[in-house]
Amino acid sequence: MIRKLSLLFAGALMGASAMGLVYGSVGPAASAADTDTYRQLAIFGDIFERVRAQYVTPPDEKELVESAINGMLGSLDPHSSYLTPDAAQDMRVQTKGEFGGLGIEVTMEDELVKVVAPIDDTPAARAGILAGDMIEKIDGEEVRGMTLSDAVDKMRGLVNTPIDLTVLREGNDEPLEITIIRDIIEVVAVKHRVEEDVGYLRVTSFTEKTGADLRKAIEEIREEVGEDDLKGYVLDLRLNPGGLLDQAVNVSDAFLDQGEIVSTRGREAGDIARFGSKPGDLTDGKPLVVLINGGSASASEIVAGALQDHRRATILGTKSFGKGSVQTIIPLGENGALRLTTALYYTPSGVSIQGTGIVPDIEIEQPLPEDMQSADLSRGESDLPGHIRGEGESEEGSGSIAYVPQDPEEDVQLKYALELLRGETTNAAFPPSPDKAVMNQ
């Protein structure tokens, strides 16, 4: 099996990084189907033939089969699905960090397209699209009755062409009419800046470019500030839905000298893969604060969990999304691909955060602006219908508000992190004590 993993959100993604994938195969079928299974398949074949021959209008047979397949996979969990040839190709393109679209991650809910999150500095984000928005109409056409794939196809188009979205937003009495100009989405995997004597690193997605971009950003910060004057780093993983697992390992490894970063465990007892760090901390052990919230999922949680377990960083913010499952992308030749949940991933201490999320060492909630007070911006894996229930999942579940203000002056989580690194405020959780690292024995 090719060990190229990423970590995927619910539903199809448009202009988005993915979260939880293995490219390859999962081996032979567990066992031959028994007689009862063949009988059920015969019933399916009989119904298909009757629909094809007797339905009041001739149905699209290809759509019938695709709907049946997705119905079967959708009954498993929110992340397993069938990818058409076009969708499979789109996913391969997206992981490279450059693609066409609006810059939103979407899923389907109550027959509407639901925005999981807008990607930073994209047409959708600049137009004011928010996580939780429900797209009711696309260019005046009702979304109800469309498949997610149909809706995504309709939202795609030529660069510099407009698209009109009718959006339902909790807290607004009337639908919002938002026009977005399509563009090529080039995701900058790592954005950075200097906050006086602190290096700020924002990882927006885990694409093939992330590890190299992070290394370059750290080098530029060190050159600008100077090693002696640099107080430390803030690693911002808020609103980061995930991406390639090997890049999550690279990002974790940048701050670690040794030890396990993450493990994945499949159906069989021996189906375990472990990913570890190599010697060499790119920051020379400088203090590190990691920011997370309800929009931090999958690959982001791998990084936060590894740095937390090794006591390399203090995790600050609110509980993460809680997506701890791995999807295998199984190519089907000219017929597209199968995205199937095949494993769960575990932090170095042996804890699965599926349905629970990463709990920050220091909980700091980000206040919502007055005009967003009534909006439900809380996100969590445990809220997804049909999700795999995590080993440690409780009624409290996972996730929290997925919101980051665009103005750093209004960002209370970032401000607290900077105060910690500068010694302007103190907290028992900072700096973390390496001798209290929690490792799996």
In this prediction, residue 29 carries a pLDDT of 55
The confidence band for 95, taking pLDDT boundaries of 50, 70 and 90, is confident
Q: What is the mean pLDDT of residues 132-137?
A: 95
Residue 288 and residue 233: Cα distance in Å, rounded? 5
- Pick one of 3.10.20.90, 2.30.42.10, 3.40.1360.10, 2.40.110.10 as the CATH number of 98-186: 2.30.42.10
Q: Which of 277, 298, 325, 400 is catalytic?
A: 298
Answer with the residue of higher pLDDT: 155 or 366. 366
- Pick one of 3.40.50.300, 1.10.3720.10, 1.10.3730.10, 3.90.226.10 as the CATH number of 190-327+343-436: 3.90.226.10
Residue 21 and residue 29: Cα distance in Å, rounded? 19
In this prediction, residue 56 carries a pLDDT of 97
Instruction: Say what percent of the chain tops pLDDT 70.
Output: 90
Residue 348 and residue 304: Cα distance in Å, rounded? 11
**Which of 226, 287, 328, 319 minimizes the C-alpha distance to 426?**
287
Can 323 be counted among the known catalytic residues? yes
Q: What is the mean pLDDT of residues 44-50?
A: 95
The confidence band for 2, taking pLDDT boundaries of 50, 70 and 90, is very low
End-to-end CA separation in angstroms for the chain: 27
CB contact set of 173 (below 8 Å; sequence gap of 6+): none
Question: 332: left (phi > 0), else alpha (psi -120 to 50), else beta?
Answer: alpha
Q: Is the Cβ–Cβ distance between 6 and 299 less than 8 Å?
A: yes
In this prediction, residue 14 carries a pLDDT of 35
Look up residue 389 and give its two tokens: 């229930």
Q: Which of 137, 209, 319, 323 is catalytic?
A: 323
pLDDT in tens, 227-249: 999 999 999 999 998 888 899 99
In this prediction, residue 370 carries a pLDDT of 87
Residue 226 and residue 228: Cα distance in Å, rounded? 6
In this prediction, residue 416 carries a pLDDT of 98
Q: Where in the chain are the domains?
A: 98-186, 190-327+343-436
In this prediction, residue 34 carries a pLDDT of 75
What DSSP assignment string belongs to 202-268?
EE--B-TTHHHHHHHHHHHHHHHH-TTT--EEEEE-TT---BBHHHHHHHHHTT-SSSEEEEEEESS
**Which of 77, 87, 83, 143 minimizes the C-alpha distance to 113?**
143
pLDDT in tens, 314-338: 999 999 999 999 888 899 999 999 9
Task: Quote the distance between the C-alpha of residue 395 and its chain's center.
Answer: 22
Q: Determine whether 176 is exposed, middle or buried from the number of CB atoms within 10 Å of its CB (0-12, 13-18, 19+).
A: middle
pLDDT in tens, 379-423: 899 999 999 999 989 988 999 999 999 899 999 999 999 999 999
pLDDT in tens, 297-315: 999 999 999 999 999 999 9
Query: Kindly report the CA angle at 297 between 181 and 82, in degrees rounded to 5?
Result: 70
Can 298 be counted among the known catalytic residues? yes
Q: Which of 77, 213, 246, 309 is catalytic?
A: 309
Answer with the residue of higher pLDDT: 234 or 376. 234
- Give the least confident one: 11-25, 46-60, 259-273: 11-25
Q: Is the Cβ–Cβ distance between 52 and 34 less than 8 Å?
A: no
The confidence band for 367, taking pLDDT boundaries of 50, 70 and 90, is very high
Q: What is the mean pLDDT of residues 364-375?
A: 88
Report for 16-20, 90-94, 271-275: range of highest mean pLDDT: 271-275
The confidence band for 188, taking pLDDT boundaries of 50, 70 and 90, is confident
Can 415 be counted among the known catalytic residues? no
Q: What is the mean pLDDT of residues 172-200?
A: 92
Q: What is the mean pLDDT of residues 201-223?
A: 94
Q: Is the Cβ–Cβ distance between 249 and 264 less than 8 Å?
A: no
- pLDDT reading at 192 higher than 50: yes
- pLDDT reading at 16 higher than 80: no
**Which of 21, 154, 190 minimizes the C-alpha distance to 95?**
21
**Which of 342, 341, 331 minimizes the C-alpha distance to 89?**
331
CB contact set of 252 (below 8 Å; sequence gap of 6+): 261, 262, 277, 302, 303, 306, 307
In this prediction, residue 87 carries a pLDDT of 82
